[in-house]
Structure 1
Amino acid sequence: MLRSVRKVAIGGVLILTCAAAQPNPVFSDTGYAADAYGAAEHYPLPIPVHARTQKQFVGYYSHFDEVRPADPIARAGTPSTFKTSERELALQYPYGGQYRSLNDYLDRNPVTGLLIARGDTILYEHYRYARKDSDRFMSQSMAKTIVGMLIGIAVSEGAIRSIDDPANVYVPELADNPYGQTSIRDLLHMSSGVHFFEDSNPGDDRDKLGRDLFNPHGLGAVDAVKHFDKREHAPGAHFSYASIETEVLGLVLSHATHMSVAQYASERIWKKMGMESDGSWGRDASGQNIAYCCVSATLRDWARLGMMLAYDGRWNGQQIVPRDWVLQATSVASGDGFLAPGNANPIFGYGYQVWILPGERRMFALQGMDGQRIIVDPGSKLVLVQTAVWTSDHDPGMREIYALWYALDAQYGAPWPH
């Protein structure tokens, strides 16, 4: 909670200042192409059973759990605190043949929230399109990394005996399916070898899977997974990004722990980390949480998650995720060259449900479609969080956010004292 709050309007932008050691977020009612995103209609929510339009993107992404069925990820106790930098971060980054500022970035891109933190201090926190710091922003595939970390916790607790076990040890309903016959390790690496085509366009296999999960009368996760049963590569040898592999991991997790994925996330991450707000996790018609997407959380709670990973699994005075697991999850083992940056993807590598940035230093990212990003440099304890409403034709390679990131890391990337 903010205490001793004072509101100041400067140039149409509302700034909150606070006497306590809390963030000082900056709010704006506008944003890039605000009219196209429904500013005149106050950024409306989607209409049930109708196709989502661009004017409904902002409302959809910040009120997902009011539009779709979702389970709470409950917080507990006093929130862990962030300090506030005495001066807001000023940054210039090269892009498009010129140097640009953070304000330029916000004016050029459909960002609903941008937060940059180092250690326990927030350096920059801006909200656009009339979004508030109490809004919960939906993750898309950033949720996959949470699933990967929850698997590590379940292994440390003995609920999962080994990630070399096939998934059907925990989900016997998949005994005759190639996904069930794939090891948890290979599912974490998205290297099952089972055919699943995903390019985030209508009609791809992820779209078909989503229809089975999001439809109120849909099949639910187990039966939806069974539709995909053709293995085209040996497991553990070929990376192919496939949301269904996270869906199978979600089934493993819920079966092994005898808890829903949302409940397990609440008990093992949200409560222990001192998140400031409840989160939520979308669920399918069978009551299973949709593991490959659909976690909603406030911008600062996303930052807490990123900072926990920057500290190799430790936050709020506790080891939330085992340190060795975080290190393994965010690195490429010597024998897994097919997962290395430039091999798994033309730019990135892949760990346990997390993208690995190229370069000698260990840096990694949680990435979700339509612009959701958490980028982490553990060496400097630097974290960038972006929530957004990208359209398919806007900066499809997401190049500008990484131009900004590398300039930020060059300025603040000195090793953090331990």
Structure 2
Amino acid sequence: MTNISFSQENWGYPPYNRDSFQQIQSLFPTVRITRGEGPTYRFNEASRDLSGLTYAGVDGGTRTVEQMLDDTFTDSFLVVKDGAILTEIYFNQMGPESHHLMNSVSKSFIGALIGIVAAEGSIQVEGLVRDYVPELAEGAFQDTTIRTALDMTAAVEFGEDYSDLNADFWMEASVVGWRPALVKPDAPATLFEYALSRQRTEQKEGEKYHYRTILTNVLAMVLERATDTPLPKLLQSRIWSKLGPEQDACIVVDRVGFPYVGAGMNACTRDLARFGQMIVGNGSIAGHQIVPSEWIDDIRYAERRSVDLFAASDYGGMFEGGHYRSQFWVADADRGIIHCLGIHGQSIHMNMTTGTVIVKFSSHPEPADMPLFVDTFLAMDAISESV
């Protein structure tokens, strides 16, 4: 870390985010997602130096993994193959026990949790959000289904242009203190109040793919109502404790303790790799089925419409032929290349064909620097196909 002083006003900007992303608990209210009392899932060790591995970069020139790590503001980098750690590197004074903000990687935990709760019978994926949260029966979510929220094809008007400091994304994030300057006396005080305030729609339900963080937070509201269980406890009992994690995770909450699941989870690098290992294992880790394998299959293969909607979106060029399903990014269904992604360079890369999981925590200066993201994807793909 740089030991530069950061605050609630500057924490999300460079160079302060190089430090602050590892110290979110000192900035904002959080709740713990405890690891429980179970055994830790242990990775094997099969150390391998991947720094010299080459791949074709964004410009077509030859790049090495070491160059990618140096150029993309890496804080940690972990490669697992068939349950064995090949490479584990930390930068910027981060270590194996350090927590790091995962931003929208958080969303994939909610996508997995919906699959679990749906299999238990508490949620109907094609059902309406308003059936679980009646307060949302009027306004932008009145016709939203669990499925359209999961796949980011719902109707609600919500701007997620991170370069616009007044975008809806930042307005919602200000509810949990992330942008104090945006807080006004008459602004919604909680994430639930913010969802209630959304009255306008930008499209028909299911018409287009448009990535919007508010939809993940609404799904968390559905989960709480459907199970009559606080979301952190639900995450802990259904997913986190079953991964065999080394540490607790934590998540940023609003003033009434509701978690900002759209972007607010924090965890250590190895524990994110355990989540990735579970996905690569078709929802299973250490012989325990956590997420139904049918749900993982649906994420991977989805339906043709998901591919078409993704191709027509602003993200279509990022993963050609890919799609977005249930809060996961699928780059290549045939090879089983699935990503969990978050702004400023957070990612879990999963290759279900080769059994590879790659975790990268970063502190990119800009939220959505596509050249940095794409260079990272290219390197990860080369690694997962060659190890």
What is the TM-score of this pair, normalised by structure 2? 0.90
Unpaired runs of 5+ residues, structure 2, are none
Q: CA deviation at 1:266?
A: 0.7
Query: Does the CA-based 8 Å contact 2:318-2:374 persist in structure 1?
Result: no
Moved more, 286-295 or 226-235: 226-235
1:84 corresponds to which residue?
A: 45
1:357 aligns with 2:320: no
Q: Which moved more, 1:71-80 or 1:87-96?
A: 87-96
Q: Given residue 370 of structure 2, which amino acid in structure 1 is its aligned partner?
A: P
Is 1:345 the counterpart of 2:316 in the alignment? yes
How far, CA to CA, are the matches of 2:305 and 2:47 in structure 1? 46
* Alpha carbons of structure 1 residues 256 and 281: separation in structure 2 relative to 1, 3 Å: same
> Partner amino acid for 2:101?
M
The share of aligned pairs that are identical, in percent, is 25
**Offset of residue 186 of structure 1:** 0.6
- Give distance in 1, aligned partners of 2:239 and 2:334: 30
Quick one: distance in 2 between partners of 1:84 and 1:123? 7
Change beyond 3 A, Cα 1:359–1:260: closer
The residue number in structure 2 matching 1:109 is 72
Moved more, 337-346 or 245-254: 337-346
How far apart in 2 are the matches of 1:379 and 1:154? 27
SS at match of 1:266: helix
Say whether 1:169 aligns with 2:123: no
Relative to structure 1, is the Cα distance of residues 97 and 168 closer, same or farther in structure 2, using a 3 angstrom cutoff?
Answer: closer
Q: Does residue 378 of structure 2 align to residue 403 of structure 1? A: yes
**2:102: which partner in 1?**
139
3-state secondary structure, aligned to 2:210: coil
In terms of mean alpha carbon deviation, does 123-132 or 232-241 score higher? Answer: 232-241
Q: Measured at CA, do residues 112 and 43 of structure 1 come closer, stay the same or move farther in structure 2, by a change above 3 Å?
A: farther
Q: What do residues 196-223 of structure 1 show as CA deviations (whole Å, max 9, x unaligned)?
A: 1211121111111112343699521221
Cα distance in 2 for partners of 1:394, 1:185 equals 26
User: Where does 1:70-219 land on structure 2 (aligned, <5 Å)?
Assistant: 70-76=30-36, 77-90=38-51, 91-95=53-57, 96-160=59-123, 162-201=124-163, 202-214=165-177, 219=189
* 1:386 equivalenced with 2:348 (yes/no): no
8 Å CA contact 2:47, 2:87 repeated in 1: no
The structural deviation recorded for 1:107 is: 2.0
Structure 2 CA distance, aligned partners of 1:382 and 1:353? 20
Q: Does 1:62 align with 2:22?
A: yes
Deviation of the 1:229 alpha carbon? 1.6
How far did residue 330 of structure 1 move?
A: 2.9
- Write the letter of the residue equivalent to 2:64: S
Q: CA deviation at 1:286?
A: 2.2
Q: Tell me the secondary structure at the aligned position of residue 135 of structure 1.
A: coil
- Is the Cα contact below 8 Å between 2:30 and 2:250 reproduced in 1? yes
Tell me: higher relative CO, structure 1 or 2? Use CA pairs within 8 A at least 6 residues apart: 2
The within-5 A match list for 1:256-267 is 256-267=226-237
CA contact (8 A) 2:13 2:365 kept: no
Which residue of structure 2 aligns with residue 374 of structure 1?
Answer: 348
Superposition RMSD on alpha carbons, in Å? 2.1
> Contact 1:341 / 1:357 at 8 angstroms: preserved in 2?
no
Q: Distance in 2 between matches of 1:393 and 1:369?
A: 5
Compute the displacement of 1:50 (Å): 5.4
Contact 2:151–2:326 (CA<8 Å) still a contact in 1?
yes
Alignment: residue pair count: 371
CA deviation after TM superposition for structure 1 residue 403, in Å: 1.8
Structure 1 residue 411 displacement after superposition: 1.2
Q: Distance in 2 between matches of 1:296 and 1:176?
A: 33
8 Å Cα contact 1:280-1:295 kept in structure 2? yes
| Structure 1: distance between partners of 2:43 and 2:142 | 42
CA contact (8 A) 1:249 1:291 kept: no
2: CA distance, partners of 1:402 / 1:51: 26
Check the 8 A contact 2:28/2:176 in 1, yes or no.
no
How far the C-alpha of 1:177 sits from its partner, in A, is: 2.4
1:383 Cα deviation (Å)?
A: 1.2
Question: SS in structure 2 opposite 1:226?
Answer: helix
User: For the structure 1 residues 51 and 117, does the alpha-carbon distance in structure 2 shift closer, same or farther, using more than 3 Å as the test?
Assistant: closer
Structure 1 residue 135: Cα displacement: 0.4
Amino acid at match of 1:168: R
Please say if 1:227 is aligned against 2:197: yes
- State the 1:195 CA deviation: 1.5
Q: What does residue range 1-20 of structure 1 map to in structure 2 within 5 Å?
A: none
Q: Which moved more, 1:314-323 or 1:93-102?
A: 93-102
Once the two structures are superposed, what CA deviation does each residue of 1:338-360 show, in whole Å capped at 9, x if it has no partner?
34456562233211111110464
Matches of 1:133 and 1:43 in 2, distance apart?
Answer: 22
* Secondary structure in 2 matching 1:280: strand
Verify: 1:243 aligned to 2:206, yes or no: no
- SS of aligned partner of 2:15: helix
Give the 3-state SS of the residue equivalent to 1:233 in structure 2: coil
Letter of the 1:375 counterpart: H
Q: Say if 1:260 and 1:289, in contact at 8 Å, map to a contact too.
A: no
AA aligned to 1:207 is: W
Note closer, same or farther for the CA distance 1:287–1:86 as it changes in structure 2 (3 Å cut). closer
CA contact (8 A) 2:104 2:342 kept: yes
Q: Which amino acid aligns with 1:249?
A: L
Provide the C-alpha distance between the structure 2 equivalents of 1:49 and 1:197, rounded to a whole number of angstroms: 21
